Amino acid sequence: MRHIISILMENESGALSRVAGLFSARGYNIESLTVAPTEDGSLSRMTLVTHGSDEIIEQITKQLNKLIDVVKLNDLNMNQGNVNHIEREMMLIKVKHGSLRDEVSRLVDIFRGRIIDVDEHSYTVELTGTSDKLDAFIRALETDTILETVRSGVMGICRGEGALKL
């Protein structure tokens, strides 16, 4: 099963490589990984998307917790199912519009995206949502019209009062 794991870790130079190294050394897979400092400059927050059996996910969280730089973590899918967290991914995508300017812009509207840059041949579109939604947008486009895509990787947060905080 797919799991989103949120990690608070020391904002130190080696911390990211410890996490990445753990995953490659133990053969766990990483679907996506994003990391940035938090409002507390000494901490970074990482969101990691992985999948595996319950046993593997249990090992992953235990191994992550064992890293000295990991302060706290939360498996967003643990005991609460998908309904209890919110996830978002952002994509910037550059699309050739050619003679189909209107059609592309209508599609962007349908997906509640925004055109953030335009030139004579292309639109640059900003789109936020679940990964599925971004995938669906890509599928809706003709493959050969896509010039470039950049995706942020998934970020997640749990609903309500629960918070991953010190």
Partner 1 sequence: MELSGAEIISTFLADEGVEYIFGYPGGSVLHIYDALFKQDKVKHVLVRHEQAAAHAADGYARSTGKVGVVLVTSGPGMTNAVTGIATAYMDSIPMVVISGQVPTAMIGSDAFQEVDSVGISRPCVKHNFLVKKLEDLAPTLRKAFYVASTGRPGPVLIDIPKDMTDPNVKMDYVYPSNVSMRSYNPNIKGNHKQVKKAVKLILSAKKPVMYTGGGVVLSNASNELRKIVDRLNLPITQTLMGLGAYPGTAKRSLGMLGMHGTYEANMAMHETDVLIAVGARFDDRVTGNLEKFCPDAKIIHIDIDPSSISKNVKVDVPIVGDVEEVLTDLITVLDELGVNEDETRFTNWWKEIEDWRKKKCLSYKKKKDVIQPQSVVEKLYKVTKGKAFVTSDVGQHQMFAAQYYLFDEPRQWINSGGLGTMGFGLPAAMGVQLAHPEATVACITGEGSIQMNIQELATCLQYGLPIKIINLNNKYLGMVRQWQEFFYEGRYAMSYMDTIPDFVKLAESYGHVGMQITNPADTEDALKEAFAMKDKLVFLDFLTDREANVYPMISAGKGHHEMQLAPESELI
Q: Of 37 and 98, which CB lies nearer to partner 1 in the complex structure? A: 37
Nearest CA to 142 out of 91, 109, 99, 113 is that of: 99
Q: Of 13 and 99, which CB lies nearer to partner 1 in the complex structure? A: 13
Rounded to whole angstroms, what are the CA distances from 31 to 5, 20, 93, 166? 11, 12, 20, 27
Nearest CA to 91 out of 58, 62, 127, 60 is that of: 127
Least distance (Å) between residue 155 CB and partner 1: 22
Q: Of 54 and 119, which CB lies nearer to partner 1 in the complex structure? A: 54
* Contacting positions for partner 1 (CB under 8 A): 9-10, 13-14, 17-18, 21, 25, 55, 58-59, 62-63, 65-66, 68-72, 166
Compute the CA torsion angle 129, 90, 141, 122 (nearest 10 deg). Answer: 140
Q: Of 57 and 76, which CB lies nearer to partner 1 in the complex structure? A: 57
Judge whether 140 and 107 are in contact, CB under 8 Å.
yes
Least distance (Å) between residue 19 CB and partner 1: 11
Least distance (Å) between residue 31 CB and partner 1: 22
